[in-house]
Amino acid sequence: MRHVYSSSPASALTADLLVVLVPVGGVAGAIAALDDAQHYNGALAQVLVDDEFTGKAGQSASVPGLGRVAAKRVLLVGVGAGSDTEVARAAGTAGNEARKRGAKHIGLALGAVSDAATRGALEALAEGNYRFDKYKAEASRKAPMDTVTLLGAGDDPRAVALAEAGIAGQILARDLVNEQPAECYPESLARAAENLANDRITVEVWDEVKIKAKGMGGITGVGQGSARPARFVHAIYQPAGPAKAHVALIGKGVTFDSGGLSLKPNDGMLTMRCDMAGAAAVIGTLKALAAIQPNVRVDVIFGAVENMPSGTSYKLGDILKMYNGKTVEVHNTDAEGRLVLADCLTYASQLKPDAIIDLATLTGAAVIALGDWYSALYTRSDELNGQLQTAATGAHEAVWRMPLPDLYKDKLKADWGDLKNVGGRAAGSITAALFLSEFVTCDKWAHVDIAGPAFMDAPLMHYVAGGTGTMVRTLTRWIERLGE
């Protein structure tokens, strides 16, 4: 995808779709250059009156070019008061509409916005334009956009470069989440990370033999029921100069979750290719960082497994010895992600980073609490919470801090092991986070349960159903700021 700036009048841009963002109370000004005597001659204003278009956030209206302007079609999208988030969501709407029409060249008239808003708009435009259609009949596919011309915006190439990095990382994450389970399995997910290796990124992959030999009982236990062997991945991004910070990103990499012997029902299993969305997000972030090159050392870590029922599956009542030596009594084989993450958290803690973030589609309880848009954030560090909240706001994503009280730790007490892997139905997302806390020795640690926004069962805002690549842009902005 190519992004270019242009100082040409909007009416003169030859494009498949000309997008004009319109604030409330600013309709006349936004369309003045298109609706003068040489172009629509007042007809555009009348169309908007007839459609009751006022520029409110979420509104849109379109008209054909008809030779009155150079673009084939003009799309006006409301941005309300014009906040950065409203601008981004309007751009996302435009991206969605562009894909429906198969528009390849988009002209985007943002108006007077900041470089940060430009970056967010370009990212959202790509989010709305995204489709995973590789298995669709070719005749039914609509072409993605390939060129975006920015009109009337600033001309800072850094804003475009940052947007392009975030877009590429998020698309990679979405493609990995949306891929069918027959093609996305532990070895192929590990390869997705290996493919990013370059002079700044090294990638080490352990096979199932080494995982077991190293004492990673969680990854070994969950993965042993599948014909697809488990993998453990440790990638390192090392900046060219001295690192200003050192962080570790961990993702849950369950490439398919049947529930194991605690088998899920059909409907609950249907979309479980998405259970590696945490690993996909950290892989996507790694791709973005390779382009941005912040002055931060970043360790990307994930265990990749399939959770399958078979004669070799781990069983209810099994006691797993984890990488840090603690034992976990298995009360539900469908609470598998925390077992995989636990070994990864211990490994990351031994690297002694300044901060650790783990991402996981961990609990349905997080979805019940916060719905499809908010990720549940658990941390005891007010500083880290503030940093992630700021980054999420800038990325137009949503995280909500949840409590992490020691009061509920008793729910995890086991009869034969040190811990059990579930704490009961009540406060399920909290007890899952408390379980993970038993395997972390880094003071600045955050667990982000992305079970809601990682995969949309139905379209929401400018996202189509499927994987969203959530948190790629939040993590990228957080790490950028650490490297400044």
Q: Which amino acid is at 163?
A: A
Distances (CA, A) of 263 to 334, 360, 412: 7, 20, 22
In contact, 270 and 180? CB cutoff 8 Å? no
Q: Round to whole Å and give the CA distance between 252 and 88.
A: 29
- Facing residues of 399 across strands? 375
Sequence-ordered list of residues with C-beta below 8 angstroms from that of 296, at least 6 positions apart, any chain? 237, 239, 243, 244, 245, 246, 247, 479, 482, 483
| Residue count of the chain | 484
Q: Round to whole Å and give the CA distance between 481 and 296.
A: 10
End-to-end Cα separation, the chain, in angstroms: 28
Write the DSSP string, 386-416.
Answer: HHHHHHHHHHT--EEE----GGGGGGG--SS
Q: Round to whole Å and give the CA distance between 224 and 186.
A: 12
- For 161-202, give the secondary structure using H, E and C: HHHHHHHHHHHHHHHHHHCCCCCCCHHHHHHHHHCCCCCCEE
Q: With CA atoms as reference, report the closest residue to 242 among 199, 296, 198, 298.
A: 296
Q: Round to whole Å and give the CA distance between 17 and 474.
A: 29
Sequence-ordered list of residues with C-beta below 8 angstroms from that of 252, at least 6 positions apart, any chain? 275, 276, 277, 278, 279, 302, 337, 340, 341, 358, 359, 360, 361, 362
The dihedral region occupied by 352, where left means phi > 0, alpha psi between -120 and 50, and beta the remainder, is: left
Query: Among all residues, which ones are annotated catalytic?
Result: 264, 338
Q: What is the largest CA-CA distance in the chain?
A: 83
- Expressed in percent and rounded to 5, the helix, strand and coil fractions of the chain are 40, 20, 40
Question: Quick check: helix, strand or coil at residue 466?
Answer: strand
- Facing residues of 74 across strands? 18, 63
Q: Which two tokens stand for residue 284?
A: 């996507």
